[in-house]
Chain A
Amino acid sequence: MYAQMVKSEATNEDPEKLAAFQARIDAGEKIEPKEWMPEGYRKTLIRQIGQHAHSEIVGQLPEGNWITRAPTLERKAILLAKVQDEAGHGLYLYCAAETLGVSRDELTEALLSGKMKYSSIFNYPTLNWADIGAVGWLVDGAAIMNQVPLQRTSFGPYSRAMIRICKEESFHQRQGYDIMMKMAQGTPEQKAMAQDALNRFWYPSLMMFGPSDKDSVHSAQSMAWKIKINTNDELRQKFVDQTVPQAEYLGLTIPDPDLRWNEEKGGYDFSEPDWSEFFEVIKGNGPCNAERMEARQKAWDDGAWFREGLMAHAAKRAARKIAAE
């Protein structure tokens, strides 16, 4: 997911306080920033929300790659609005993380130094226009699977950010599918682009949910704290079950010869992605890791004079105002 393999932190606090905290969560109460919370809860949340925010920001890049090549004025506007939304979502999430006592600059530096991660999916390239459709349809589709339940997460600022994000994102997946329909129903070349995009994005989309965590202690703690709502496998199954008929409607073939309906479980059986590839991408060896980080580093470095210039002017203005009073 946008936050993959987030380790939860151990907590060594007063058992009575911990029990009272857990009781609040079990009762469905929201935890707000200035209230007492276990240190492990706070740290895990910073890691998870931060990774989610970084994913939104880095996620601007693969789609932004096609803004200047969008084939009509309307497609250009739609894509630009969507990528802009991602910047907005990153902003909301950084703000949610900031309520936990970490600054946006600190989070940015952790991203750039490689200390913090972002979703593996954004290290794959967008090579043809149908990729923009596939990203909206599959990547946003997978993200929504995770984000909808997170609206009920226990931490108030995170929950509120997710609600705003889900509301704004509702058009993202549809615009992707809309592109896929046009391509799948278009010329033979367009149909080939659509199939090519699906072939490349299918397994990376399945990887977004992370490896199976049904036996993970970290996940169990995060689920008890309601900062993780479903297991990775549950979400992945749900995603496959939802996506297969959509691909069939498009007349496209999911690149999995072992994909078949399993009447007994009421869902599809499907092949696992290549998890060794996933771990390589996480380590930095994906097709675009280097480009993504270079782009973010450049924006940060080249923007320093701008950010500093505006701070300096604000200070001058404030001083002049005081002098005039």
Chain B
Amino acid sequence: MSGEWPLWEIFIRGQHGLNHRHVGSLHAPDAEMAVKHARDVYTRRNEGVSIWVVRSAAITASSPSEKGPLFEPSNSKVYRHPTFFDIPEDVGKM
């Protein structure tokens, strides 16, 4: 056996009613595992309601457009957010 796990493009529907959006890519041996990895890698701060995965090689692209990057709503592990930590005002901006 040789070969690197193929690359997959990940699309996540952040909330009901919204489109799936491209959030990034990852490696996985097949589509089912790509879905699991996507859950672990790309929904650490929020629960996406649905995940699509597509082999990167299977995508046909027009000339690339300039789409802005994605921000995702956040989540349940509160300590990942800066406001979880009380930094006194005297310290200044952080």
Q: Mark A71-94, 1 if CB is under 8 A from B, else 0.
A: 000100110010011001001100
If A32-B66, A164-B70, A168-B45 touch, whether A249 touches B91 (CB-CB below 8 Å) is yes
A232, CB-defined interface residue at 8 Å: no
The answer to whether B5 and A311 have CB atoms under 8 Å apart is: yes
Interface contacts beyond A34-B63, A35-B63: sample of 13 additional A-B pairs, CB < 8 Å, sorted by A? A81-B80, A92-B24, A98-B25, A171-B80, A171-B85, A177-B94, A245-B92, A246-B92, A246-B94, A311-B3, A311-B29, A314-B29, A317-B30
Question: Hey, which chain A residues are within 8 Å of B30, CB to CB?
Answer: 314, 317-318
Question: Hey, which chain B residues are within 8 Å of A163, CB to CB?
Answer: 69, 71
How distant is B38 from chain A, measured CB to nearest CB, in Å? 11
The answer to whether A249 and B69 have CB atoms under 8 Å apart is: no
Task: State the 5 A-B residue pairs at the shortest beta-carbon distance, nearest first.
Answer: A32-B64, A314-B29, A314-B30, A160-B69, A174-B85
How distant is B64 from chain A, measured CB to nearest CB, in Å? 3
Question: Hey, which chain B residues are within 8 Å of A245, CB to CB?
Answer: 91-92
Residues on B facing A (Cβ under 8 Å): 1, 3-5, 7, 24-27, 29-30, 33, 41, 44-45, 61, 63-66, 69-71, 77, 79-82, 84-88, 90-94
The answer to whether A33 and B1 have CB atoms under 8 Å apart is: no
CB < 8 Å A-B pair total:
101
The answer to whether A171 and B69 have CB atoms under 8 Å apart is: no
Give the residue among A92, A167, A174 with the most B Cβ atoms within 10 A: A174
Q: Mark A304-325, 1 if CB is under 8 A from B, else 0.
A: 0001101111100110000000
Question: Hey, which chain B residues are within 8 Å of A175, CB to CB?
Answer: 79, 85
The answer to whether A314 and B44 have CB atoms under 8 Å apart is: no
The answer to whether A98 and B7 have CB atoms under 8 Å apart is: yes
Secondary structure type dominating chain A contacts: helix
Q: Which residues 1-56 of A sit at the B interface, judged by CB distance below 8 A?
A: 29-30, 32-35
Can you list 27 residue pairs at the A/B interface with Cβ under 8 Å? A29-B66, A32-B65, A74-B79, A81-B80, A85-B80, A91-B26, A91-B41, A95-B7, A95-B25, A98-B7, A98-B25, A104-B27, A160-B70, A167-B71, A170-B81, A171-B80, A171-B82, A174-B94, A175-B79, A177-B91, A177-B94, A178-B85, A178-B86, A249-B91, A310-B5, A314-B29, A314-B33
The answer to whether A168 and B80 have CB atoms under 8 Å apart is: yes
Question: Hey, which chain B residues are within 8 Å of A234, CB to CB?
Answer: none
The answer to whether A177 and B64 have CB atoms under 8 Å apart is: no
A159, CB-defined interface residue at 8 Å: yes
**A318–B30 alpha-carbon span in the complex (Å):** 9
The answer to whether B84 and A171 have CB atoms under 8 Å apart is: yes
A273, CB-defined interface residue at 8 Å: no
Q: Mark A292-312, 1 if CB is under 8 A from B, else 0.
A: 000000000000000110111
How distant is A257 from chain B, measured CB to nearest CB, in Å? 24
Residue from A32, A177, A313 within 8 A of B85 (CB atoms): A177
